[in-house]
A and B are shown apart, each in its own frame.
Chain A
Amino acid sequence: MTAAQQAATSAPPEILEREDIITGCEAVAQALRLLDVDVFAAYPIRPYDSVMTAVSKMIANGEMDAEFIVAESEHSQFEIGKHASLVGARSFIGSSGVGWMFGMEALVVTASLRLPVVALVGNRALDDPGAFGVEHNDALMVRDTGWLLYWVGTAQEALDTTLLAYRVAEDKRLMLPCALSMDGAFLTHSQHVVRVPDGELVRRFVPPYDLGDRRFHPDNPVSIAPQFNEDWVMEARRQSDAAMRRARTVIREATEGFAQVFGHGVQDPFLDSYRMEDADYALLGMGTVGMVGKVAVDRLREGGKKVGFVRVKWFRPFPGPELRSVLRDAKGVGIVDRDYSFGSNSHGGVLYTEVAAALYVSQQRPRLVPFIAGLGGREISVDNILEMEAIVEEAVAAGEDIPCQWIGVRGPKTDPRETEEGGPG
Chain B
Amino acid sequence: MAVGSVDVTYRGVFQKNLAGVITKELVRAARREGKIGGTVQRYGDSPERNGIPAKQFAIIAEVEDELHVEMAKYEPDKVTVLCVMDDTLVKGVESWAWYGVQPIDVNLAPGGTLLLISKRSPEELLRWIPRRDFAWNLATLAGEPCFGGLWVYNDNGTDYRTLGAVSRVTDGLVGLASLCVQAEASSDGGRRAALLRDGYETVEIHPVAPGLGAENNYTPVEKPGWTEMREGLIIPAIEVGRNNELFKKFTTRTARPLVKFEACVKCQICYMICPDECFVPTSSGHYDVNYEHCCGCGICAEACPVSGCIEMVDEAAFDSNERLHNLYEADPGAYEQMREEKLARAGGPIPHYGVY
Contact = CB atoms under 8 A, between A and B. Distances in A.
Interface string B212-245: 0000000000011110011111111111000000
A221 interface: yes
A241 to B, nearest CB: 9
Nearest to A224: B234
Contacts of B233: 112-114, 224-226, 228, 236
A235 B226 contact: yes
Contact of A221 (B98, B231, B232, B236): B236
Contacts of B351: none
A222 interface: yes
B228 to A, nearest CB: 9
A229 B226 contact: no
Interface residues of B, number: 21
Interface string B54-81: 0000000000000000000010000000
Given A114-B231, A214-B232, A223-B234, A230 B97 contact: yes
Nearest to A237: B226
A260 B234 CA distance: 36
A232 interface: yes
A214 B230 CA distance: 9
A299 B231 CA distance: 51
Contacts of B236: 221-223
Interface residues of A, number: 25
Contacts of A225: 233
B50 to A, nearest CB: 18
Nearest to B224: A235
A231 interface: yes
A243 B232 CA distance: 11
A239 interface: yes
B355 to A, nearest CB: 29
A239 B226 CA distance: 6
Given A214-B232, A221-B239, A231 B225 contact: no
A239 B74 CA distance: 24
Nearest to A227: B96
Contacts of B97: 229-231
A236 B237 CA distance: 18
A155 interface: no
B229 A239 contact: yes
Nearest to B240: A221
A114 B232 contact: yes
Given A221-B239, A230-B44, A113 B223 contact: no
B74 A230 contact: yes
Interface string A100-126: 000000000000111100000000000
A223 B238 contact: yes
Nearest to B43: A230
A417 interface: no
Nearest to B95: A229
Chain A CB count within 10 A is highest, among B43, B223, B224, B229, for B229
A259 to B, nearest CB: 30
Nearest to B233: A225
Interface in B73-103: 74, 96-98
Interface in A390-421: none
A223 B246 CA distance: 14
B190 to A, nearest CB: 44
Given A214-B234, A222-B235, A223-B237, A235 B225 contact: yes
Contact of B231 (A230, A231, A239): A239
Given A230-B74, A231-B223, A221 B237 contact: yes
Contacts of A221: 236-237, 239
A93 interface: no
B215 to A, nearest CB: 26
Nearest to A115: B232
A175 interface: yes
Nearest to B231: A239
B234 A236 contact: no
A303 to B, nearest CB: 54
Nearest to B235: A223
Contacts of B74: 230
A225 B231 CA distance: 11
B26 to A, nearest CB: 26
A228 B74 CA distance: 15
Interface in A206-252: 214, 221-232, 234-236, 238-239, 242-243
Interface string A32-74: 0000000000000000000000000000000000000000000
Nearest to A231: B98
B252 to A, nearest CB: 16
Contacts of A175: 231-232
A112 B233 CA distance: 8
Contact of B98 (A112, A232, A242): A232
Contacts of A214: 230-232, 234
Contacts of A232: 98, 223, 229
A243 B224 CA distance: 18
A298 B41 CA distance: 65
Contacts of A223: 234-238
List 3 A-B pairs, minimum CB-CB distance, nearest first.
A221-B237, A235-B226, A114-B232
Interface of B: 43-44, 74, 96-98, 223-226, 229-239
14 contacts: A112-B233, A114-B231, A214-B234, A223-B236, A223-B237, A224-B233, A224-B234, A228-B233, A229-B97, A230-B43, A235-B223, A235-B229, A236-B226, A239-B226
Given A214-B230, A223-B235, A225-B233, 18 more contacts: A113-B232, A221-B239, A222-B234, A222-B237, A223-B234, A223-B236, A224-B234, A227-B96, A229-B96, A230-B43, A230-B74, A230-B97, A232-B229, A235-B223, A235-B229, A236-B229, A236-B233, A239-B229
